[in-house]
């Protein structure tokens, strides 16, 4: 059978009316299908655009199935029927009332009259399909907005908790107001950059490369070799992107104060890959510093190392390893990557 966009069903089981109607429609390039009986016609109505039916075909059939189909139409639908009756006969009100949206044509008719009636019915059905598509898109938009609001609530709640944690941790790790202000301000700016990336994808994901570039980009030399970022283009889910972005900020800050970025010849190489396992994808990331001062194990654990070793492990179920190699600090991260998106992409 032809597609939903063009098909006209014909039910005229007595005489030559069916073949004549089909030939007329074929002459004006309107595709049609002759139904063997009323049950066959009802079975094809969902994919059709119009139906041409003779009055006697309905009068001699059990009409409960077609009555049920007409009644079950969705709100946007008013399926068009063309009912063929005999010249001079009064249309049966039971049939016109059953079909609803019906155009009555008397037989015999001029071919142009049938063609015109069917064209009008097809135009009306196409407009109904446009309304259906519009309603479906509007429903999809409403669902998306509801999901966005849910995700926004989740993100704001998490952000406030993160800021509160940053505030307390920064206060405990600094000894004066000026140091506290600058450390806390820098961490909030870093958090804001991560959220800027997340809002570009409806608070869903952020590109890993951009998270690293936000922290390390302005330290790179003119030749681009001081900072090397090497790995595939991947997106991190928000609940991984936020703590990862904070971790990159702490690593960068430590490198600028005590590590590779504190000396002109220092370099940082960040490489990452994604592996597929039985439980899903895993991010593997290595941060390697070189060319800086000799590294030793710190005497006290600051907020940065606490973030790297605890927050990532607890919030992201990540495995974290920090190696204080004399030649340069090394940081290794293995973190599961959630696949599910709350808000579908456009």
**CATH for 88:** 3.40.50.2300
Residue-wise pLDDT for 289-324, tens only, equals 999 999 888 776 665 566 666 667 777 788 888 899
In this model, does residue 2 exceed pLDDT 60?
no
Half-sphere exposure of 344 (CA within 13 A, CB side): 6
Domain assignment present for residue 39? The answer is yes
Strand partners, 290: 267
Instruction: Give the mean pLDDT of the chain.
Output: 83
Q: 207 and 120 share a domain? A: no
- What's the structural domain count of the chain? 2
Sign of the torsion angle spanned by Cα atoms 195, 200, 203, 208:
negative
Q: Mention every residue, 6+ apart, whose C-beta is less than 8 A from residue 197.
A: 206, 207, 210, 211, 214, 241
Per-residue confidence band for 14, with pLDDT thresholds at 50, 70 and 90: confident
Check whether residue 121 and residue 190 sit in a common domain: no
N-terminal to C-terminal alpha carbon distance within the chain = 33
Q: Which of 64-73, 322-331, 336-345 has the lowest average pLDDT?
A: 336-345
Do 125 and 187 share a structural domain?
A: no
Per-residue confidence (pLDDT) for residue 258, from 0 to 100: 86
Establish if 288 belongs to a structural domain.
yes
Q: Has residue 68 been placed in a domain?
A: yes
Predicted confidence at residue 305, as pLDDT, reads 64
For residue 57, is it within any domain? yes
Residues in CB range of 204: below 8 A, 6 or more apart: 151, 198, 237, 238, 341, 342, 343, 345
Section 137-153 average pLDDT: 72
83 and 182 share one domain: no
Which structural domain range is residue 196 located in? Answer: 174-337
> Are residues 125 and 182 located together in one domain of the fold?
no
Cis peptide before 118, with omega less than 30 degrees from 0?
no
Q: Per-residue confidence at 54, pLDDT binned at 50, 70, 90?
A: very high
Question: Is the residue at 66 inside a domain?
Answer: yes
Burial of 11 (0-12, 13-18, 19+ CB in 10 A): buried
Residues 271 and 184 in one domain: yes
pLDDT, greater one: 123 or 4: 123
In a domain, 3, yes or no: no
Q: Are residues 258 and 116 in the same domain?
A: no
**Considering the chain, what percentage of its residues have pLDDT values greater than 70?**
80
Dihedral through CA 318, CA 305, CA 329, CA 183, nearest 10?
A: 120
26 assigned to some structural domain: yes
pTM, whole model, 2 decimals?
Answer: 0.53
Q: Is residue 2 part of a domain?
A: no
Mean pLDDT of 85-95: 83
Same-domain status, 208 and 289: yes
Higher pLDDT, 167 or 276: 276
């Amino acid at each position: 059978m032809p597609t939903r966009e063009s098909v006209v069903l014909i039910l005229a089981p007595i005489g030559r009316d069916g073949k004549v109607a089909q030939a007329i429609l074929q002459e004006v390039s309107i595709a049609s299908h002759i139904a063997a009986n009323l049950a066959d016609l009802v079975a094809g109505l969902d994919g059709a655009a119009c139906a041409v039916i003779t009055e006697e075909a309905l009068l001699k059939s059990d009409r409960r199935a077609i009555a049920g189909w007409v009644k079950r139409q969705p709100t946007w639908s008013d399926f068009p029927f063309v009912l063929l009756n005999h010249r001079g006969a009064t249309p049966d009100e039971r049939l016109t009332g059953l079909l609803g949206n019906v155009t009555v044509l008397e037989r015999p008719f001029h071919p142009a009259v049938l063609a015109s009636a069917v064209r009008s019915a097809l135009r009306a059905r196409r407009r109904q399909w446009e309304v259906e598509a519009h309603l479906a898109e509007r429903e999809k938009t409403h669902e998306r907005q509801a999901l966005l609001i849910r995700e926004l609530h989740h993100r704001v709640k998490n952000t406030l908790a993160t800021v509160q944690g940053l505030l307390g941790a920064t206060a405990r790790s600094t000894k004066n107001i000026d140091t506290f202000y600058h450390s806390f301000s820098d961490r909030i700016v870093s958090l804001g950059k991560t959220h800027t990336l997340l809002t570009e994808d409806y608070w869903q994901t952020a590109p890993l490369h951009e998270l690293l570039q936000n922290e390390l980009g302005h330290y790179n030399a003119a030749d681009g070799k001081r900072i090397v970022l090497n790995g595939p283009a991947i997106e991190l889910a928000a609940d991984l992107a936020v703590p990862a972005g904070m971790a990159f900020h702490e690593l960068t800050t430590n490198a600028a104060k005590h590590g590779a970025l504190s000396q002109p010849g220092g370099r940082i190489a960040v490489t990452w890959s994604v592996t597929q396992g039985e439980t899903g994808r895993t991010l593997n990331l290595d941060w390697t510093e070189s060319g800086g001062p000799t590294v030793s194990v710190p005497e006290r654990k600051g907020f940065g190392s606490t973030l790297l070793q605890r927050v990532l492990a607890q919030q992201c179920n990540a495995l974290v390893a920090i190696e204080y190699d004399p030649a340069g600090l090394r940081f290794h991260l293995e973190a599961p990557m959630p696949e599910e998106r709350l808000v579908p992409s456009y």
